[in-house]
Amino acid sequence: MSAKATTPSDLEIARAVTLRPIEEIAASAGIPADALELYGRYKAKIDVERLPPADQLGRVVLVSAISPTPAGEGKSTLTVGLADSLARAGRRTMVALREPSLGPILGLKGGATGGGRSQVLPMEDINLHFTGDFHAITSANNALCALIDNHVFHGNELGIDPRRVTFRRVMDMNDRALREIVVGLGGPTQGVPRQDGFDITVASEVMAVFCLAKDATDLADRLARITIGYTYSRKPVTVADLGAEGVMAMLLKDAIKPNLVQTIAGTPALIHGGPFANIAHGCNSVIATTTARRLAEIVVTEAGFGADLGAEKFVDIKARSADVAPSVVVLVTTVRALKMHGGVPKDCLAEPDADALARGMPNLARHVATVRRFGLEPVVAVNRFSSDSTEELDTVLAWCSRAGVRAAVADVWGRGGGGDGGDELAREVLAALEAPGQCRQLYPLALPVDEKIRTIVRDVYGGADVEFSDLARRQLAQIEENGWGGLPVCMAKTQYSFTDDATQLGAPEGFTVHVRELWPRTGAGFIVAVTGALMTMPGLPAHPAALRMRLDDDGRPVGLF
């Protein structure tokens, strides 16, 4: 993150680490050998059924953030580093994180397993195929699509309207050309032509279902409830109507087992599932979080984007349907992001600017208020960059002190949580855990869908109102008609602003959020409220990271970072 030019790359740091055999990591986490399914020497799947009964469930520390800069505030790195610091403080700790998506890795990111001295390993494997979970999810998704088009082709007994098939094919790739396509061309023996498109695998509803399922039975039940489209008479068609939930669950039988790896410091980590943070809820699987709670005293996990999106969805979607409520929320904050919210252009964030920093604080303040609204106490983690001055860091800490918010500076990238980079933060988190909050949802499910959205916009974003497009208004009525009004809402909004306009930084007030469309996700169990432009299939840049990747003469990957 900081001073990358003069320090070793993430891959170089990762390579210098001597990994412990995964059996040792498992034993240290209390996982019996017969619950382990090895994938090479340093990865294993856990057969949750074979775990011993837990006396007590671990506490969940949720790592969230302020509204981020485009480069991100280092949430994954901090999640790993904090867990290492808590382990160093003698607490039985486990990390729960999302699996990286191959598409963005080949595009710009190069890797997504933390950074510097705070990484999960083996990063070369986790970033490439890992244990095949995303491939299994892709297969299950696309088997359903093949079965849908095949049903229409062979007589279409259910009367599916090919123009109203809403369930799309997926690929774990950034492939712009597949966003909008026409399938089924070539004449009557080749299929029924219709408009279609591919999403990236992390945007699949199967991924969301996979990550919200409590166990294999719940997984099959949720798969069965997925709406794939509508009949000519506008009635919803589900996976159960096609009878495809069985084969989909079968294709996911191994993927659904959480994956065990280790951090650089040897802390056990479960990396499992990875839904998009915009059209889905953006955190690792419920199964990984609940498994970690059975094994560890403290579970450090992450939610995508800022607290307005990630923490809100964690509380209102994930923790509503599963026993994973956080006890403490860590808000990752950087001096750079605060200066950006104070008006500094993205290219100048390394330069000191006390006034801009002060002007940016209201963004943090609003996220702090959000966390408290959930009944939880925030801990601000100032993620240190080498360009930060001591004065700037002190300004943030002083603000937190005045606001009565626990805070600490951490340098888990440079010094590692296994080193002393997160000791202070760990102390603050442990102190907060002494008096944990009582997590509560923001709204009751009985509230109408539009009112749920208004509640989020007013109480979390600080906005004034919500405007629904004509289409969204019609969809609200259909949602009530179809009996889906009792589902929670999943906001698809830019992470850069509290508003639906990515350029409105800081903490704007009095704004209106525009809901363009509503997408029922009846398997996952939420209604996606789409605001602004939305990309469910990213593209590759002009110079993709992929073109720098290769194997060296020893067969080791080069170009991941």
Is the CB of 419 or the CB of 538 nearer to a copy of itself? 538
Decide whether 149 or 205 has the Cβ nearer to a copy of itself. 149
DSSP code of residue 212: H
- The least CB distance from residue 187 to a copy of itself, in Å, is 9
Is 455 catalytic? The answer is no
Rounded distance between C-alpha atoms, residue 105 and residue 367, angstroms: 29
Give the bridge partners for 181, in sequence order: 196
- Smallest separation (angstroms) from a copy of itself to the CB of 325: 28
Q: How far is the CB of 540 from a copy of itself (least distance, A)?
A: 4
**Binding flag, residue 51, a copy of itself (CB under 8 A):** no
Structure tokens at 514: 């525009």
Report yes or no: 374 and 315 within 8 Å, Cβ to Cβ: yes
- Locate 429 and state its tokens: 């988190």
> Which residues in the 21-40 window bind a copy of itself by CB under 8 A?
37-40
Q: Which of 134, 167, 198, 305 is catalytic?
A: 305
Smallest gap from residue 157 Cβ to a copy of itself (A): 10
Count of CB atoms within 10 A of residue 40's CB? 10
Burial of 443: CB neighbours in 10 Å, binned 0-12, 13-18, 19+ = middle
| Segment contacting a copy of itself by CB under 8 A, of 140-148, 316-324, 360-368, 376-384 | 140-148
Catalytic residue list contains 493: no
- Please identify which residue in the block is written with the tokens 């399914």: 37
- For residue 43, indicate whether it is catalytic: no
Considering only 133-141, 261-269, 460-468, 510-518, which stretch makes contact with a copy of itself by CB under 8 A? Answer: 133-141
- The length of the chain, given as a count of residues: 561
Residues contributing to the annotated binding site: 69-76
Choices 265-273, 301-309, 431-439, 538-546 (CB under 8 A): range interacting with a copy of itself: 538-546
Distance CA 350, CA 382 (A): 15
- Pick the binder of a copy of itself from 8, 21, 71, 150 (CB under 8 A): 150
CB neighbour burial string for 50-60, b if at least 16 within 10 angstroms, e if fewer: eeeeeeebbbb
Pair 437, 375: CB distance under 8 Å: yes
Q: Which of 15, 20, 92, 109 is catalytic?
A: 109
- Which of 125/480 has CB closer to a copy of itself? 125
Minimum Å gap between C-beta 503 and a copy of itself is: 19
DSSP code at position 527: E
Q: Segment 164-203, which members bind a copy of itself (CB under 8 A)?
A: 169, 171-186, 190-192, 196
Whether the Cβ atoms of residue 518 and residue 529 lie closer than 8 Å to each other = yes
By C-beta, is 39 or 484 nearer to a copy of itself?
39
Token digits for 455?
């509640």
- Residues 448, 470: Cα–Cα separation, whole Å: 17
> By C-beta, is 61 or 171 nearer to a copy of itself?
171
**Backbone Cα Rg of the chain:** 23
Residue 180 CB, shortest distance to a copy of itself, in Å, is 4
Site size with a copy of itself, rule: CB under 8 A: 76
Q: Which of 99, 149, 199, 377 binds a copy of itself (CB under 8 A)?
A: 149
User: Residue 164 catalytic?
Assistant: no
Among residues 130, 314, 374, 413, which one is catalytic? 413
Nearer to a copy of itself, 345 or 555 (CB): 555
Determine how β-strand 259-263 pairs with β-strand 268-271: antiparallel
- 309 DSSP assignment: I
- Please identify, using beta-carbon distances, which residue of 244 and 264 lies nearer to a copy of itself: 244
Give φ, ψ of 46 to 5 degrees: -110, 125
Sole binder of a copy of itself in the list 362, 508, 532, 539 (CB under 8 A): 539
The CA–CA distances, whole Å, from 427 to 252, 268, 330, 400, 419 equal 40, 20, 13, 16, 14
- Are 204 and 255 a contacting pair, CB within 8 Å? no
Binding-site residue numbers for ATP are 69-76
Scan residues 421-460 and list those touching a copy of itself (CB under 8 A).
Answer: none
**270-278, 364-372, 501-509, 535-543 -> range binding a copy of itself (CB under 8 A):** 535-543
Please provide the DSSP assignment of 92-114 as one string: -EEEEEPPPPHHHIIIIIS--SE
Residue 181 or residue 397: which is nearer to a copy of itself going by CB?
181
Name which position in 94, 106, 324, 412 contacts a copy of itself (CB under 8 A). 106
Name residues contacting a copy of itself, limited to 64-103 (CB under 8 A): 102
Residues 472, 477: Cα–Cα separation, whole Å:
9
- Asked if residue 473 binds a copy of itself (CB under 8 A), the reply is no
Nearer to a copy of itself, 77 or 142 (CB): 142
- Reply yes or no on whether 385 is catalytic: yes
| 492: helix, strand or coil | strand
The closest of 133, 71, 559, 120 to 332, measured between CA atoms, is 71
- The yes or no reply on residue 549 touching a copy of itself (CB under 8 A) is yes
- 228 residue type, one letter: I
Place of tokens 């004065």: 391
Residues from 197 through 256 that contact a copy of itself (CB under 8 A)? 216, 220, 242-247, 249-251, 253-254
Among 50, 129, 234, 474, interactor with a copy of itself by CB under 8 A:
129
Contact indicator for 43, 122 with CB cutoff of 8 Å: yes
Check if 130 is active-site.
no
The catalytic position among 134, 385, 484, 511 is 385
- Provide the annotated active-site residues: 75, 77, 98, 109, 277, 305, 385, 413
